[in-house]
A = this chain, B = another copy of it.
Amino acid sequence: MSGAPYIRVGFLGFGTVGSGAYRMLEDNREAIARKVGAEIEVVRIGVRDEAKKRCASPSLLTTDLGSVVDHREIDVIVEAMGGLDPAGELIERALRRGKHVVTANKELIARRGAELVGLAARQGLDLHYEAAVGGGIPLIQPIKHQLAGNDILRMAGILNGTTNLILSRMTDEGEPLETVLAEAQGKGYAEADPSSDVDGHDVQFKLAILSSVAFGKAVRPEQIYREGIRGIEQADIAYAKTLGYVIKLLGIVEAVEGGSILGRVHPTLLPKAHPLAAVGGVYNALCLRGDFVGDVTFMGRGAGGEATGSAVVGDLIDVCRNMRIGGSGDAAPFSGEANARPIEELTSAYYVRVVVPDRPLVLGAIATIFGRRNVSLSAMEMRVIDTKLNHGEIAFLTHRCLEADLRQAVEELRHAPEVLRVCNWIRVETL
């Protein structure tokens, strides 16, 4: 490629994702140069700690992050630091200085995507963020391009590898959440503070990004209902199994009447034949339904430096090709804010587990409470859990009903003399 033009790139952050992308650029240098029609040269890498051992030459490293975005010769900034600040302010500064940006930062794009995409569009620059959702799986660009003719009706995905691993282990090994979580933390699969994963914040960010792209309107994370996996007990997993389901943490968003959306993150009972039910371990997957294309499923490694680095480099190659042929600046800004409906308006099937005194009339009383709220039952499993106290446990599945009605029924069950305890209730995905 001697004589080929150079495109100069600056990195911000050089952790798992940044160094993964860097190694890919090194390992596959020739093939990438052929695809771009230019050599991609990383000329500066902004890091927090210059002394740490890295796979890049120490001469490239600097702790002066501003000097990377201000560097005159740099055409493209790769941001792989994560977090809102200083990443956001650095990306803004890079765009204002005429540099294209590739970022893997889900929190930043979820919170400030509309604003930054708008800025990039006004500047005629590319701002790509494929790596922010689903690791190495192509999701954002296929929705923006190959599926662009569709009205997206619905998306449902497993978007967090850590919680998927935890739930898979709980299912396979019968251990409680605390044990499995501690093990995952020990092996480095889960953070010391697991809240971002376990409480669903990570999925909420990712679903906000996917929703914004799919529906073309800015969706804020707070517009998506969120519930984590801390409440899931072994009993729920066991009843789900008996009833033909597995429990997964899903992000789901649907287009609802009047151009609104209803987005939600929560543990979900999935029928075993559902395409997402077999997605195990750290894999991620997304099922999307378009009005013309029908159902499309994407699956792959949702985290890790190599897979996420692959998405960063894919974006970088696109940005560089666009620079070369003069097609930059298609960062289609979102057209206003989405109108999001509250979770109470959801129509879904549900799983409800209660502890009851094992005596006549109890089941009838419970069924009547459900029935009065228009909640119709489709299946149930009972077992005696305490022969001394004569306590039984019942797991119900309902037909599809309005969440507001289900919530009222659960509230009434909590106060009904025939019910000792409502242990849990979980939404159920139908095929």
Report which A residues bind B (CB closer than 8 A).
Answer: 20, 24-25, 27-28, 31-32, 34-35, 130, 136-138, 141-142, 145-151, 216, 275, 278, 290-301, 304, 306-307, 309-311, 313-318, 321-322, 325-330, 332, 335
Nearest residue, chain B, Cβ from A324? B330
B296 lies within 8 A of A138 (CB): yes
Nearest residue, chain B, Cβ from A273? B278
Nearest residue, chain B, Cβ from A215? B31
The 5 closest A-B pairs by CB, nearest first: A327-B327, A149-B313, A138-B146, A296-B300, A136-B293
What residues of chain B lie closer than 8 Å to A311, measured between beta carbons? 146, 293
B296 lies within 8 A of A137 (CB): yes
Contact of A300 among B24, B27, B294, B300 (CB under 8 A): B294
A28 lies within 8 A of B142 (CB): no
Q: Is the interface of A mostly helix, strand, loop or mixed?
A: mixed
A310 lies within 8 A of B150 (CB): yes
B306 lies within 8 A of A294 (CB): yes
B297 lies within 8 A of A149 (CB): no
What residues of chain B lie closer than 8 Å to A138, measured between beta carbons? 138, 142, 145-147, 296
B310 lies within 8 A of A35 (CB): no
Nearest residue, chain B, Cβ from A136? B293
A335 lies within 8 A of B34 (CB): yes
Of A310, A316, A328, chain B has the most CB atoms within 10 Å of the CB of A310
B329 lies within 8 A of A294 (CB): no
Contact of A328 among B25, B307, B325 (CB under 8 A): B325
Q: In the complex, what distance in Å separates the CA atom of A224 from the CA atom of B310?
A: 28
Q: In the complex, what distance in Å separates the CA atom of A398 from the CA atom of B322?
A: 50
What residues of chain B lie closer than 8 Å to A327, measured between beta carbons? 322, 325-328, 330
What residues of chain B lie closer than 8 Å to A142, measured between beta carbons? 138, 141-142, 146
What residues of chain B lie closer than 8 Å to A31, measured between beta carbons? 151, 216
What residues of chain B lie closer than 8 Å to A309, measured between beta carbons? 149, 292
What residues of chain B lie closer than 8 Å to A317, measured between beta carbons? 145, 148-149
Given the known A-B contacts A142-B138, A327-B325, A328-B327, are A292 and B24 also in contact in the complex, defined by CB atoms under 8 Å?
A: yes
Q: In the complex, what distance in Å separates the CA atom of A72 from the CA atom of B318?
A: 32
Distance of A75 from chain B, by nearest CB (Å): 16
B298 lies within 8 A of A310 (CB): no
Besides A34-B335, A297-B299, 13 other A-B contacts (C-beta < 8 A): A136-B147, A138-B142, A138-B296, A145-B318, A146-B315, A147-B310, A148-B318, A149-B313, A293-B301, A293-B311, A295-B301, A298-B299, A321-B330
Q: In the complex, what distance in Å separates the CA atom of A278 from the CA atom of B306?
A: 28
Distance of A356 from chain B, by nearest CB (Å): 38
Q: In the complex, what distance in Å separates the CA atom of A345 from the CA atom of B285?
A: 35
Distance of A302 from chain B, by nearest CB (Å): 10
What residues of chain B lie closer than 8 Å to A25, measured between beta carbons? 149
Q: In the complex, what distance in Å separates the CA atom of A329 from the CA atom of B321?
A: 11
Distance of A121 from chain B, by nearest CB (Å): 11
Nearest residue, chain B, Cβ from A288? B300
A275 lies within 8 A of B290 (CB): no
Contact of A146 among B141, B293, B294, B325 (CB under 8 A): B141
Q: In the complex, what distance in Å separates the CA atom of A297 from the CA atom of B335?
A: 32
What residues of chain B lie closer than 8 Å to A149, measured between beta carbons? 24-25, 28, 32, 309-310, 313-314, 316-317
A314 lies within 8 A of B148 (CB): yes
Distance of A308 from chain B, by nearest CB (Å): 9
Nearest residue, chain B, Cβ from A298? B298
Q: In the complex, what distance in Å separates the CA atom of A366 from the CA atom of B332?
A: 66
B325 lies within 8 A of A329 (CB): yes
What residues of chain B lie closer than 8 Å to A326, measured between beta carbons? 326-327
Q: Could you give 27 example pairs across A and B, Cβ below 8 Å? A: A28-B149, A28-B291, A32-B149, A34-B216, A130-B146, A136-B292, A136-B296, A138-B146, A138-B147, A141-B142, A141-B145, A147-B310, A147-B314, A148-B318, A149-B314, A275-B278, A290-B310, A292-B306, A292-B307, A292-B309, A293-B306, A295-B301, A297-B298, A299-B299, A322-B327, A325-B328, A326-B327
